[in-house]
Structure 1
Amino acid sequence: MSQPFKDPFNFVYFLGFLLVLMLPTLPATLSWLKHLNLL
């Protein structure tokens, strides 16, 4: 449990995993932002 380099690595890996999960929803979010900007 006393490994200082393990937590940041897990955090970055978790962020990368979230980014991979969010990739399919990028076009939808971009379209929503475009519609909000048009309004």
Structure 2
Amino acid sequence: MRRLLQRLFAFILKLYFRRIEVYGQKHIPKEGPVI
């Protein structure tokens, strides 16, 4: 159960950061993404 939760959490984090990267590249100048 714990391992499943860890895997799910890691997956969500990966998606989240990938989305931030893409969003930052498209919309934000060189300063980087603001969260």
| Fold in common (TM above 0.5) | yes
The structure that has the greater radius of gyration is 1
CA RMSD of aligned residues (A): 2.6
Extract unaligned runs of 5+ from structure 1: 34-39
TM-score, normalized by length of structure 2? 0.58
Q: List 4+ stretches of structure 1 deviating above 4 A.
A: none
Aligned length: 31
Extract unaligned runs of 5+ from structure 2: none
* Percent identity between the two aligned chains: 6
More helix by share: 1
